[in-house]
Each structure stands twice: as C-alpha cells, then as structure tokens.
C-alpha cells in the first residue's frame, strides 16, 4: 500500500514537473511571437508614415516607435515577470511617450513650443518617478514582511524559554520551522 502511494505521488510530481518544463517553451514562444508582431506592426506603421511629410511624419514615426516599445515592454513584463523587468519596461515606455510628445511640439513655435516641451519633459519625469516609487514600495513591503516575521519568531522563541528539556527543544524546532529560521 505504501509503495503504491509512493509510486502514485512520484507520478504526480513527474507530471507536474513536465507541465512546468513544457510551460517554459510556450512562454518563450509567446514572448518571441509578441516581439515579432511588434516588429511587423512597426514596419507597417513606418511604411504608412513614409507617405506623410513634415512634422506629421515625425509624429507618425515617433508614435510607431512608441507602439513597438509598448508591445515589447508588455511582452517582456509578462515573460520575465520580475519587478526589474516591469520597471525597465515602464521607463522605456515613458521615454517613447516622451519622444511622441516632443515630436508633437515640433509644429509649434516660440513660447508655446517651449511650454509643450517642458510639459512633455514633466510627464517623462513623473512616469519615471512613479516606476521608481513602485519599486521602492515593493521593497519596503518586503522589508516590513521580513521584520514582522522576525518579530513573531522572537516572540515564539521567548515563549519556548518558559519550557524545559525536550518540550523546549520541540518548541524551538517548531518555531524555526514555522518562521523559516
């Protein structure tokens, strides 16, 4: 009976590990497909921009590049799934949006153009600051969780100090196990 359960459990684990391994190539394929689509869409949009002249062409090209950066950033965030990838993608998207806004300012002159460029720059700075702030918030939450866990562990160990002998040893072992120490 124990042997059958062990065989069944081993089969389930091997099935799960196969599912995890098969998900990796699928995720890579999805990521690659998204990047390929972004490149194809960019080429098509860029070709449409070639029919335009002057500042509208600059705006069109910047918008095409921004759309590509958006698509690639989303693909990277989903594929990597890390905070660093998310922050990097958000900053790249902010830069691309800034380029579009700057291109739109190109049709203006004088003070209106200066104000437009300053507004675009302010939006860029704000977007990058938000991305950095989100990173710091995530780090602060992790630190707070770790601090709480350490405090709870210290309380559990203190409770164990009232015990003696094997009871104390079991209590300490339980606390270490529960709090990962």
Kindly report, residue by residue over 133-167, the tens digit of the pLDDT: 888 888 888 899 999 999 999 999 999 999 999 99
Count up the domains in the chain and report the number: 1
What's the pLDDT score for residue 174? Answer: 93
For the record, the structure tokens of 53 come out as: 């002249």
Asked if residue 75 belongs to a domain, the reply is yes
- Enter the pTM of the model: 0.64
What's the pLDDT score for residue 82? Answer: 86
CA 32/CA 43 separation, integer angstroms:
17
What's the pLDDT score for residue 136? Answer: 85
User: pLDDT digit string (tens) for 89-115?
Assistant: 999 999 999 999 999 999 999 999 999
Asked if residue 145 belongs to a domain, the reply is no
Asked if residue 41 belongs to a domain, the reply is yes
Alpha-helical regions (H) of 50-164: 55-80, 83-105, 110-160
For residue 48, the tally of other CB atoms under 10 A from its CB is 12
User: pLDDT digit string (tens) for 3-56?
Assistant: 333 333 344 443 333 333 334 888 899 999 999 999 999 999 999 999 999 999
Residue 12's domain comprises: 2-107
Asked if residue 171 belongs to a domain, the reply is no
Asked if residue 84 belongs to a domain, the reply is yes
């Amino acid at each position: 009976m124990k042997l059958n359960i062990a065989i069944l459990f081993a089969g389930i684990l091997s099935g799960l590990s196969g599912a995890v391994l098969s998900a990796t190539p699928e995720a890579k394929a999805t990521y690659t497909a998204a990047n390929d689509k972004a490149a194809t869409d960019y080429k098509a949009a860029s070709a449409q921009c070639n029919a335009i002249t002057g500042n509208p062409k600059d705006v069109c090209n910047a918008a095409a590049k921004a759309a590509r950066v958006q698509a690639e950033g989303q693909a990277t965030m989903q594929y990597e799934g890390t905070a660093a990838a998310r922050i990097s993608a958000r900053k790249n998207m902010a830069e691309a949006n800034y380029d579009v806004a700057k291109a739109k300012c190109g049709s203006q002159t004088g003070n209106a153009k200066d104000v437009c460029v300053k507004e675009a720059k302010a939006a860029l700075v704000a977007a990058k600051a938000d991305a950095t702030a989100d990173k710091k918030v995530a780090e602060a939450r992790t630190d707070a969780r770790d601090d709480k866990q350490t405090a709870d562990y210290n309380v559990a160990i203190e409770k164990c100090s009232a015990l003696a002998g094997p009871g104390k040893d079991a209590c300490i072992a339980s606390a270490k196990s529960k709090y990962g120490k």
